[in-house]
Amino acid sequence: MFGFSLTKLLVLAVIVGGVLLLFRFIGQRTAVQPPAKKQTKPEPKAFDTEYDAESDTFVVRKEKNQDK
């Protein structure tokens, strides 16, 4: 029962080979998938600003100067 024989060694080799092929197949299947695309937010519109000494802040210029 615990002795070595050619049949037992061949069965063991087939089992080990099958496990290696299974791991290789799983590894290739997961590596082929492209990475998920990142969803990016659209860029906010840019506004021209100017310094307002009265309020000590930057304020948006009139609408005619805004980027569209």
Asked if residues 50 and 61 have their Cβ atoms less than 8 Å apart, the reply is: yes
Asked if residues 45 and 68 have their Cβ atoms less than 8 Å apart, the reply is: yes
Predicted local distance difference test score (pLDDT) of residue 1? 65
Predicted local distance difference test score (pLDDT) of residue 33? 62
DSSP string, 1-27: --S--HHHHHHHHHHHHHHHHHHHHHH
Mean pLDDT in residue range 7-26: 94
Q: What is the dihedral of CA 24, 25, 30, 34, to 10 degrees?
A: 110
Whether the pLDDT of residue 35 is over 70: the answer is: no
Predicted local distance difference test score (pLDDT) of residue 12? 94
| pTM (whole model) above 0.85 | no
Predicted local distance difference test score (pLDDT) of residue 32? 58
Whether the pLDDT of residue 17 is over 70: the answer is: yes
Predicted local distance difference test score (pLDDT) of residue 29? 79
